[in-house]
Structure 1
């Protein structure tokens, strides 16, 4: 995903191509040789000069999930990382269908589109495209993501198209594609389990909705997210208790409860208020990290404690990597989860809450509660 900073000089196109193996520059339409300085009006120059990359995408679970003022998703994160590599701001727009997205690219209203349109449809519009996974269909398929996701550009010979193709294939080679696909795994919750989850939410969510909304408003949070956290913590059962002594709807430790002003952890309203306050503290703690990464950091800290997250960040930094990039934290947790049960728990915790949040926000019956 992405860190909070885009510091550093803009990507040099010449150095970019020197660093890329020729085989990474694979387009569905063969690249036409070009001179970087020959055209002053190409898309690459326009993006760099305006410091803005405009991307249009079809709303799709494999591409982008819009959550209020925030967005996340496999396609979104990959595009954000590309914008970051160019040191420009991402303007990410969503549309309802492939035809609209392709039209915006053809008309020059977007620098490129992320779609699931067929190659035949794209070529009929005289546009060019390549796989968003650089052909790593296995990583997408095993995580329940659409293997037909592609990036569509107006011209194959534009430097922006070439750098994007190189970036996508580098992401495949360095493992970033596999990491993103794993985090956005659509199979993280088994199909049969969704029936139970749907039943639980339909039955219990109406009871605590007012408390979730009240606490969310107090701390400027999304009440659906608080509900997703609570379901992961306790299945929305206020009398839940773990072997380690955490209890209540939001499963607070005794120490955290006291710190948050919660006198009775088994009282649903108090537990929700305390959990909201603590999660807000975690978000504030990582205010230097941009969203949606900040949200994932805050959730890991809610689960493991901020001290544990800080220790991991130090190890990541010692490895010469950005400690404020969610994919680096996620990769560290997954690589070491076999040796540390808390890491495995944290990975499941964040991915399931993300899945629950998306489910709540896309299920009409739950939204009507």
Structure 2
């Protein structure tokens, strides 16, 4: 269900901008009422029954008109997009993670959100060899058809984005600020090129500054968008390892490039390899793992993996009512992952939630 009217867009924005209404509460409301317009049209008693009194009061009291108007103006500009859970262009791979963002702000090629992707991450204070490796691997993988996802940080991230822009797969930068702010400022020109040839993505509202806690949070999107994560350089304790850990929890492949035993920035990669990450020293190792059948541009295989996952869930459901625990047993997916996928299917009118909490396939 795309944002086909300003009223629809305003309702999604109001839901996601209300302070105190987190992702879990947003999903509960969407599951209970459907599109946000119905949430705000519902009786207060029904909203309180779904999410409790505190969240219901926050929704009723929050005045977001100015912020909504500014965001709608931003979205009306060429190349800018608001993408919700109910939008067909929403990255289907994010429906496989436990806490997918309800709304994304996107600058650039929105179709890349469903391209076959690999995340490349590494140290901000990268060595010359580390930056060179990130750029070289990204260039070869992008030319091989993978879209490269990274976080627009200095060092390995910036090098990976630059290399990926030279290939057909292009690149996605997931940022920890609002879409109207770029951090660090030294990457302004790189961000402009990515918005023109790739995509800049964030879940944070316009105007959000560079807050420390937002960057680990955005890491789940970096790994979630991708089929695997390549760690180029990382210290033994670093934010890069957070992304690698999240990737493992999300069922993504983890790859690591080994380095000198004397370099502190190789410690994290060696640690990951000892824990089971796949050692790589050639981009072809990753291409054969993630894209064995074709070297065509990534956009040509858009939405293929997650579309298969949704079909598998629907096939496992059949047309009889089924509980989430039984569905989890049949599919091997966690309850959190299933909840996100079922919510998306419900918003597409393909699944319904029954009064007893079970789910039923509609078509």
**TM-score interval (norm. to shorter):** under 0.3
- TM-score of the pair, normalised by structure 2: 0.28
In our comparison, the structure showing a higher alpha carbon Rg is 1
- TM-score of the pair, normalised by structure 1: 0.28
